Homo-oligomer: A and B are copies of this chain.
């Protein structure tokens, strides 16, 4: 078993490296705010959910993967106004940002993996952490925080600097109103924004 676990852990580390994510240990499960902040900082992308404005789909939920960067706990985005999610947000700015440890942000991602150990892990297991940050999506073009956010986005996502200039790109953020986390058995924890923002990495 030790051998098997070591091999699986080694593969997990390579997987994390290959995915271009930060490799680090997750905080202890009782440190909820720390775990939430760690997930936002370690993830390269998440799913933005909006209320759809598509013809025939109005009012339905719509989840769309987007890249992220973290500055001080705030999730920032470099997005195109042509994107469906941005069209939705123009009508209703309420969003959620969903992150899963199954995206491979840590060694502990083995808990999310169906082959580890003996099939005990799963993306739906409560010990495979999942985080839902809810709030309103805000275009921060021309604000004081735009330069810092852009720097963090372009550092984390080198491809962005080469994206075509004719797609109405802008920098946005989520103004957080709710933080929902499952990282262990027993149901979700709601994390106070002040506790979350107080975390120093």
Residues of A within 8 A of B (CB): 8, 11-12, 14-15, 17-20, 44-45, 47-52, 54, 56-57, 59-67, 78, 82, 84, 94-98, 100, 102-104, 109, 113-116, 118-125, 128, 130, 132, 134, 156-160, 162, 178, 180, 187-188
Contact = CB atoms under 8 A, between A and B. Distances in A.
A11 B17 contact: yes
A157 B66 CA distance: 27
B18 A134 contact: no
Copies in the complex: 2
Contacts of A100: 45, 47, 65
B94 A60 contact: yes
A94 B188 contact: no
A45 B104 CA distance: 13
Given A94-B60, A113-B20, A122 B65 contact: no
Given A57-B134, A114-B158, A120-B159, A47 B63 contact: yes
A44 B96 contact: no
A98 B20 contact: no
